[in-house]
Amino acid sequence: MVAVGVGLNLKEKVSSPKVELVKNQATPTAVQSGGQAAAYVVVDMEGEVLKPGVYKLAKGSRVSEAMAVCGGLSVNSDRDWVEKNINRAKIVSDGEKIYIPKKNEVVKVLGTTKTSNGLININTAGVEELDKLTGIGPAIAGRIIDYRDKNGGFKDVNEIKLVSGVGEKLFEKIKDQIGI
């Protein structure tokens, strides 16, 4: 009994970060929590989820956590499509929209590795796509992906210069091939 009580007490102390549904309010970038500033991202969960809406999550949260806070998938969701197209391990970006289609819904998947103007999207491209860039090999491509995962994506293409191995010279070679 004591072990169960200690376990329950420990569970309360190691609880998951606060999540809240955002409705018609300015979204703060940091909120005081226990004397420390906690950074948040805001994610729009739509489609066939139980509680669609805009949610504020702790920075570094994964798609799987965003899916959980909106109640999960509805019975009408296309689970097969979700398994093939949604990376639940991906860290969500601030302002990201995640749409879950219903069964038999025709969903146009825009080229997730290309921007609207045909450039390689450094926030979504995999190693194979990044490797196609002039002067980028698999090692630097991996570092680009690691950087964006740790930092919630690139806010500007110039930020890629912060990745180890991508200096000003290499950036000049790829700047006309990349976008966000």
pLDDT at 27: 37
Q: What is the CATH number of domain 120-179?
A: 1.10.150.320
Per-residue model confidence as pLDDT tens for the chain (180 residues)? 444 444 444 443 434 444 555 543 333 333 334 444 448 989 999 999 999 999 999 999 999 999 999 999 999 999 988 888 788 888 888 888 888 989 887 665 544 455 545 688 898 888 888 988 999 999 999 999 899 888 888 888 999 999 999 999 999 999 999 988
pLDDT at 1: 45
Strands (E), 27-164: 30-33, 36-47, 53-58, 96-100, 120-121
pLDDT at 117: 58
The total number of residues written for the chain in this structure: 180
pLDDT at 114: 57
pLDDT at 9: 44
pLDDT at 125: 83
**DSSP-derived pairing of the beta strands 120-121 and 178-179:** parallel
| Residue 131: both structure tokens together | 């490797």
> At 76, which amino acid appears?
N
**DSSP-derived pairing of the beta strands 36-47 and 30-33:** antiparallel
pLDDT at 81: 82
- CA 41 vs CA 29, 67, 170, 174: distances in Å: 7, 14, 31, 29
pLDDT at 90: 86
pLDDT at 113: 59
Which residues are 57's β-sheet partners?
A: 41
Which segments of the chain belong to CATH 1.10.150.320? 120-179
- Each residue of 155-171: b (16+ CB within 10 Å) or e? eebebbeebeebeeebb
| Residue 31: both structure tokens together | 């909120």
Burial of 59 per CB tally in 10 Å (0-12, 13-18, 19+): middle
